[in-house]
Amino acid sequence: MNTGIEALPDDIEALKALLIAERYTVLIAREALLEAEALAAIAQAQVADAHAIIEDLKLRIAKARQDKWGQSSERHKQLLDQLEMQLEDVVATATEDELAAEIAVAKASAAGVPVVPFTRKKPTRAPLSADLPRHRVVVPAPESCPCCHGAELKKIGETITESREVVPRQWIVVQTVREKFICKACETITQPPAPFHPIPRASAGPNLLAMVLFNKFGLHQPLNRQSETYAAEGMSISVSTLADYVGHGTVLLRGLVDLIEAHILAGERIHHDDTTVPVMAAGKTITGRIWASVRDDRPFGGTDPPAVCYYYTRDRTGAHPQRQLARYAGILQADAYSGYDALYAAGRKPGPILEAACWAHARRPFFKEARLSQAPLAVDIVTRMDAIFAAERVIWGRNASERLAARQVHVAPLVAELEQFLRQQYGRLSRKGDLAKAINYMLARWDSFARFVSDGRICMTNNAAERRVRTVAVGRRNWTFCGSDRGGDRAAAMYTLIQTCRLNDVDPHAWLRDVIAQISDHPQTRLHELLPWEWKARQQRPEAIAQAA
């Protein structure tokens, strides 16, 4: 069959008809695709909503049984806490899926494809306590009628929207008042539009939303404990409602996470490491992983801001770091995990990755032997390594060329002597001994260990990444486990924002408050202005300081 240009008709009208038919076919296919995507998103939201309802009912049944027949033991209390954490996770997931369905339906509607939207059925919230003080925020009224531009407006009423908000040590209800006016000339009723609200149709202000997110992911306080704390302060907010806030907040800030990841992958050097995290699975707990990619150019005098991006995975296969660093080319500082090997392959696209091994990781087994058994060889190796570390501390923060020059004079001879010493001692040791294994670990990767001597950008250690994953280890003691894989993804996203703030000496709580309050009204093309380092620079300008005062 001839499908080339010869198959096209010569008549112009026939060509036009063929083009119109082809365009019509493409439009039909596009509309069908949008409809399918919207229906799939709605189905996912319905499934997540049903799962949330089931978990809520399970928790209520467990509490009812505990009240009627249960023993007041610590074990039963822990079981209820686990159920509450599971409910927290599925409600946040249901919220994310509901928002995704709304976006898909909006895209389909914009293309003229009618799709019935999905709205979760949520319990009717009780009115906000009348005992809380009210703070009226009146939206400025128009100076003239938008219909006839008449200047004589008469107030005929107002619409009040109440939302929970919090100030330090005091709960308040903010009343946003939109006054109604009628034009005396044409009797047209006008009212200013409703201001931006971080959670549509919800009664939570940006300060409250920021506090919940920061307490959970910055201070490692599970939502059930937060709920108990707020209740003790006179504000009853259920775990389900708090989980709803977490789901909305994660979606609201997702664009900033992507920008931070892009900033890290643009660096000349990246630190990478992972740590374990328990995850709830069907009837058991599995061991997932939280990975951290860190960009920190300060050791070699770089002026670009530091940042960290976290990733959650269900296991520790090599496919995960290979996917996380698929767009990266440069220097990778990491341990000797075999999952990184594919990244160092020659001819890799988009470019080569150079391996830089971690001396701190290699030093640990020698230090352990020196401390426990006082082995003279281990003590000697640790002493030689410490001399190299001492020479490195002197040049921290200098630019790459200065570091390279100093290393060639003061560090390179020490590294060469250590290599020669290790090779000599390795031939005298039993291959089964711990010291022999530790020495072989270094000698087998010596090019990677010695690479820092010839490149001023490379650090001796991967401590920058290990410090970032330590925050996950601290949090594990409090929240025990993630409720699901989706919960791990949410934690990774929020850890990215909060820990990047801390790397840049930015108060994460203050940053969250300000960003949540303005992100929806902020132009997407200027979203980078809300990144922690950009936000910090803006806050330090004289006009911002004067406005805050």
| Each residue's pLDDT tens digit, 353-362 | 999 999 999 9
Q: Quick one: tokens of 424?
A: 């000599």
CB-side exposure of 546: number of CA atoms within 13 Å? 3
pLDDT band of residue 73 (cuts 50, 70, 90) is very low
pLDDT band for position 468 (50/70/90)? very high
Instruction: State pTM to two decimals.
Output: 0.77
How confident is the model at residue 313, as a pLDDT?
92
Average pLDDT for the chain: 85
Mean pLDDT of 218-234: 89
Asked if the bond preceding 350 is cis, omega within 30° of 0, the reply is yes
- What does the alpha-carbon distance between residue 351 and residue 181 come to, in Å, rounded to a whole number? 64
Bridge partners for 363 per DSSP: none
DSSP 8-state code for residue 204: B
The pLDDT of residue 72: 45
**Closest by alpha carbon to 102, among 245, 199, 213?**
199
- Give the pLDDT confidence of 126-162 residue by residue, as tens digits: 777 777 888 898 988 888 998 888 888 888 899 888 8
CB burial string 43-69: b at 16+ within 10 A, e below? ebbbebbebbeebbeebeebeeebeee
Band of the pLDDT at 201, cuts 50, 70, 90? low
At residue 166 the predicted structure's pLDDT band, cuts being 50, 70 and 90, is: confident
Q: What is the pLDDT of residue 378?
A: 93
326-345: b or e for each residue (b if 16 or more CB lie within 10 Å)? Answer: eebbbbbbbbbeeebeebee
Domain spans, the chain: 12-110
CA distance 270 to 354: 10
The pLDDT score that the predictor gives to residue 541 is 75
pLDDT score of 484: 77
Q: Could you tell me the pLDDT band of residue 3, with boundaries at 50, 70 and 90?
A: low
Say whether pLDDT at 70 is over 60.
Answer: no
Q: What is the pLDDT of residue 283?
A: 64
Measured between alpha carbons, how far is 108 from 38 in angstroms, rounded to an integer?
A: 7
Q: pLDDT tens digits, residue range 50-59?
A: 777 777 766 6
Residue percentage of the chain with pLDDT more than 70? 87
Q: Which residue has the higher pLDDT, 29 or 441?
A: 441
Rg of the Cα trace of the chain? 30
Whole-number Å distance between alpha carbons of 45 and 104: 11
List pLDDT tens digits, range 414-437. Answer: 999 999 999 999 988 888 888 999
pLDDT band at 380 (very low <50, low <70, confident <90, very high): very high
Average pLDDT of the residues in 377-390: 95
Q: Tell me the range of 35-49, 166-180, 307-321 where mean pLDDT is highest.
A: 307-321
Residue that the structure tokens 């799939």 belong to: 40
Q: What is the pLDDT of residue 146?
A: 87
Q: What confidence score (pLDDT) does residue 547 get?
A: 59
Q: Average pLDDT, stretch 350-373?
A: 92
pLDDT at 164 over 70: yes
| Whether pLDDT at 71 is above 70 | no
Read off the pLDDT of each residue in 507-521 and give the average, rounded to a whole number.
92
Q: What is the pLDDT of residue 114?
A: 80
Q: What are phi and psi of 120, to 5 degrees?
A: -65, 140
Average pLDDT over residues 252-273: 96
Given a contact cutoff of 8 angstroms between Cβ atoms, the answer to whether 243 and 95 are in contact is yes
Section 181-204 average pLDDT:
83
Instruction: Report how far residue 358's alpha carbon sits from residue 335's, in angstroms, rounded to the nearest whole number.
Output: 6
pLDDT given for residue 385 in this prediction: 96
